[in-house]
Amino acid sequence: MSTTVTIETTPYSDQKPGTSGLRKKVTVFRQPRYLENFVQAIFNVASELKGQLLIVGGDGRYYNQQAIQVILKIAAANGVKQVMVGQNGLLSTPAVSHLIRKNKAAGGIILSASHNPGGVDGDFGIKFNISNGGPAPTSFTDAVFELSKSISQYQIIETADIPLSEQQQVFIADMQINIIDPVSDYAALMAELFDFQKIKSMFTGDNFTMCFDAMHAVTGPYAKEIFENQLSANSGAVINGVPLEDFAGGHPDPNLAHAIELASLLNSGLNAPDFGAASDGDGDRNMILGQHFFVNPSDSLAIMTANAHLLPGYKSGISGVARSLPTSRAVDKVAESMGIRCYETPTGWKYFGNLLDDKRITLCGEESFGSGSDHIREKDGIWAVLFWLNLIAIKQQSVEQIAREHWKQYGRHYYTRHDYEAIDSEAAENLIQHLREQSATLAGKEYAGHKITLCDDFSYRDPVDNSIAEKQGIRILFDDESRIVYRLSGTGTEGATLRVYIENYVTDTTQHTLETQSALADLVEISKNIAQIKTHCNREQADVIT
């Protein structure tokens, strides 16, 4: 007989969700009652979950299954009627978003620290998504944080753990739990949006091959089912396809620094696959590669926007687009020529939700290897890969040809992000504060021929609910359409990370074949000078350059 018990607890002061939920070291989450407190705070704020359906799943990292057991027991004690959980506790972030929408759930809980490393000493995270399928807005996460600082008890049903390895229906007290196939509903949605027949015919005949690197994270089972089984891609198309608790010791972030096996395969000469892609820990990020060719994520969004009407799911056109502040302005050029609205939002997917719900936009993306559309309310890695495959099948061009033609028509935005990692938090705050103080006087100044036209601390008023987000990053615009943006990361778990985003705009096609870092070398120097990075952070160079 399972009964609800009330457990006395003491609060923690550090449960403040960041850009994407609460992210901490596993060791922090494993402190007594740490997870329980936070989960109870979610249930207190999300009172709409009572009597309703909740979706639960995660990226398979260490502590995923233990956390799910706790969540199920607290959910049952808090009156949730029904829960859907992915088999073995697995659900990609986009799959959770889709399941919430499809089943009209009141919300979802995602266990993931996205692209951060996993394992006993790695990172863990927990995020709540609301009934539109998207990340909870700041008003929600602020309320959870406030409650977490004074929480004194939580409700839980003390009962045996639920086996998650079989697809079955079980109960905790009155709460029904359905353990479901994590892949099938998501795969069906993809088949509605893209021309699977056309992509499949491209793979038959062996003249087109791909490689998808699942990085031992959650997308392995999705990629195998969709690319290998349903689209008949070349055998071995999916590499590192078995989700592991520690991602095989890797850093499941789909970029050139971490998806090294994939990148070297695409650069391997004659036998290289025609198309390469990777996704991150929880399946919402993507990297797209051609042979010897890297597609910058900001360009990917622009190319998608220019071509969406060719694809079945978007044939009636797109209403508008949005990009986060640091994302390059390549998509702005496309939107301008198409005569559609282009919104500039703060960093983080949660700012796209209202624009999507209000049908102001169809596509959106971030420079941090994220793109998505109104099909769900999260960014979506496999979706982006399918978008590119479908586009290649239609255009019968290589990835590189598609990108170069795009630049020819719209101009090229050279773009780079320089991350200074694990710097002292106070030093980082001082640097930003110093920039803020300078901002009023920087306009008009000239640096190596680049004249500043505007410098401010970005703030955003949501056009749908009029909420305001301030202090979202220092942006410096130059008269030649180049730009530098500075902001501090909101997802790190060690010290502070300063992100510096640098771009310039080149219309002359004879200048479209430069190497990115050399094309931006002068602006990189300017970015160091203006912010006095060495003085504040004692760093000569960025730690990670993407």
- Name the site residues for Zn ion (rule: CB under 5 A): 114, 280, 282, 284-285
As given in the structure block, the two tokens for residue 43 are: 């249930």
Query: Quick one: 266 or 500, whose CB is closer to ligand G1P?
Result: 500
What are the residue numbers of the active site?
A: 114
Query: Quick one: 282 or 332, whose CB is closer to Zn ion?
Result: 282
Residue 390 interacting partner from Zn ion, ligand G1P, none (CB closer than 5 to 8 Å by kind): none
Residue 351 interacting partner from ligand G1P, Zn ion, none (CB closer than 5 to 8 Å by kind): none
Query: Residue 50: helix, strand or coil by DSSP?
Result: strand
Residue 489 interacting partner from Zn ion, ligand G1P, none (CB closer than 5 to 8 Å by kind): ligand G1P
Q: What letter represents residue 413's amino acid?
A: H
Taken in order 520, 522, 528, 534, the sign of the CA dihedral is: positive
Write down the residue that tokens 């282009």 correspond to: 342
Query: Side-chain half-sphere of 86: how many Cα atoms within 13 Å?
Result: 32
Query: Quick one: 254 or 290, whose CB is closer to ligand G1P?
Result: 254
Greatest Cα-to-Cα distance within the chain, rounded to the nearest angstrom? 76
**Measured between alpha carbons, how far is 404 from 408 in angstroms, rounded to an integer?**
6
Residue 419 interacting partner from ligand G1P, Zn ion, none (CB closer than 5 to 8 Å by kind): none
**Smallest distance, Zn ion to C-beta of residue 111, A:** 12
Write down the residue that tokens 């410096």 correspond to: 476
**Smallest distance, Zn ion to C-beta of residue 101, A:** 19
**Smallest distance, ligand G1P to C-beta of residue 316, A:** 28
Residue 327 interacting partner from Zn ion, ligand G1P, none (CB closer than 5 to 8 Å by kind): none
Query: Quick one: 114 or 416, whose CB is closer to Zn ion?
Result: 114
CB neighbour burial string for 310-324, b if at least 16 within 10 angstroms, e if fewer: ebebbeeebbbbbbb
Site residues for ligand G1P per CB under 6 A: 19-20, 114, 324, 347-349, 366, 368, 489-491, 499
Query: Quick one: 420 or 447, whose CB is closer to ligand G1P?
Result: 420
**Smallest distance, Zn ion to C-beta of residue 171, A:** 32
Write down the residue that tokens 């998608």 correspond to: 304
Residue 349 interacting partner from ligand G1P, Zn ion, none (CB closer than 5 to 8 Å by kind): ligand G1P
Q: Would strands 483-488 and 496-506 be described as parallel, antiparallel, or unpaired?
A: antiparallel
As given in the structure block, the two tokens for residue 262 are: 């994939």
Measured from each CB, the residue nearest to Zn ion is 114
Query: Quick one: 65 or 347, whose CB is closer to ligand G1P?
Result: 347
In order of 85, 266, 518, the CA distances from 39 in angstroms are 16, 43, 48
**Smallest distance, ligand G1P to C-beta of residue 322, A:** 13
**Measured between alpha carbons, how far is 16 from 10 in angstroms, rounded to an integer?**
16
**Smallest distance, ligand G1P to C-beta of residue 117, A:** 14
Are the C-beta atoms of residues 504 and 523 closer than 8 Å to each other? yes
**Measured between alpha carbons, how far is 275 from 385 in angstroms, rounded to an integer?**
10
Are the C-beta atoms of residues 168 and 360 closer than 8 Å to each other? no
